Amino acid sequence: MKFIPGIGSVVATSWAVAYTWALGEGACVYFGDLMAGKVPDPDAIQALMGDAFKQAKQDWRETQPDD
Protein backbone atom coordinates (compact mmCIF):
# COMPACT_ATOMS: atom_id res chain seq x y z
CA MET A 1 0.00 0.00 0.00
CA LYS A 2 2.92 2.32 0.50
CA PHE A 3 3.68 2.38 -3.25
CA ILE A 4 1.16 5.20 -3.78
CA PRO A 5 2.43 8.33 -2.00
CA GLY A 6 -0.11 9.76 0.41
CA ILE A 7 -2.78 7.11 0.01
CA GLY A 8 -0.50 4.32 1.22
CA SER A 9 0.40 6.33 4.30
CA VAL A 10 -3.25 6.98 5.11
CA VAL A 11 -4.11 3.29 4.83
CA ALA A 12 -1.07 2.24 6.89
CA THR A 13 -1.91 4.80 9.57
CA SER A 14 -5.54 3.74 9.79
CA TRP A 15 -4.49 0.11 10.19
CA ALA A 16 -1.90 0.99 12.85
CA VAL A 17 -4.42 3.05 14.83
CA ALA A 18 -7.09 0.37 14.56
CA TYR A 19 -4.77 -2.49 15.49
CA THR A 20 -3.38 -0.63 18.50
CA TRP A 21 -6.91 0.13 19.72
CA ALA A 22 -8.07 -3.47 19.20
CA LEU A 23 -5.01 -4.84 20.98
CA GLY A 24 -5.70 -2.57 23.95
CA GLU A 25 -9.34 -3.68 24.09
CA GLY A 26 -8.29 -7.32 24.01
CA ALA A 27 -5.69 -6.76 26.73
CA CYS A 28 -8.29 -5.10 28.96
CA VAL A 29 -10.60 -8.11 28.66
CA TYR A 30 -7.77 -10.60 29.14
CA PHE A 31 -6.35 -8.97 32.26
CA GLY A 32 -9.82 -8.16 33.57
CA ASP A 33 -10.69 -11.86 33.41
CA LEU A 34 -7.44 -12.77 35.15
CA MET A 35 -8.04 -10.26 37.93
CA ALA A 36 -11.57 -11.63 38.40
CA GLY A 37 -10.15 -15.13 38.80
CA LYS A 38 -11.53 -16.33 35.46
CA VAL A 39 -9.76 -18.15 32.66
CA PRO A 40 -9.68 -15.79 29.65
CA ASP A 41 -11.66 -17.05 26.64
CA PRO A 42 -9.44 -16.72 23.54
CA ASP A 43 -12.41 -16.91 21.16
CA ALA A 44 -14.26 -14.11 22.96
CA ILE A 45 -11.14 -11.94 23.03
CA GLN A 46 -10.48 -12.58 19.33
CA ALA A 47 -14.08 -11.67 18.44
CA LEU A 48 -13.86 -8.50 20.56
CA MET A 49 -10.59 -7.52 18.90
CA GLY A 50 -12.10 -8.02 15.44
CA ASP A 51 -15.06 -5.81 16.30
CA ALA A 52 -12.83 -3.18 17.93
CA PHE A 53 -10.52 -3.20 14.88
CA LYS A 54 -13.40 -2.54 12.49
CA GLN A 55 -14.87 0.17 14.71
CA ALA A 56 -11.52 1.90 15.26
CA LYS A 57 -10.80 1.97 11.51
CA GLN A 58 -14.22 3.49 10.86
CA ASP A 59 -13.82 6.05 13.65
CA TRP A 60 -10.38 7.04 12.36
CA ARG A 61 -11.67 7.50 8.81
CA GLU A 62 -14.46 9.73 10.07
CA THR A 63 -11.94 12.08 11.69
CA GLN A 64 -9.98 12.58 8.46
CA PRO A 65 -10.72 15.63 6.32
CA ASP A 66 -12.27 15.05 2.91
CA ASP A 67 -9.86 15.86 0.11
**pLDDT tens-digit series, residues 6-37:** 667 777 777 888 889 899 999 999 999 999 99
Q: Are 2 and 9 in contact (CB under 8 A)?
A: yes
pTM of structure = 0.71
Contacts of 13 (CB under 8 A, 6+ apart): 60
Say yes or no to pLDDT of 65 above 90.
no
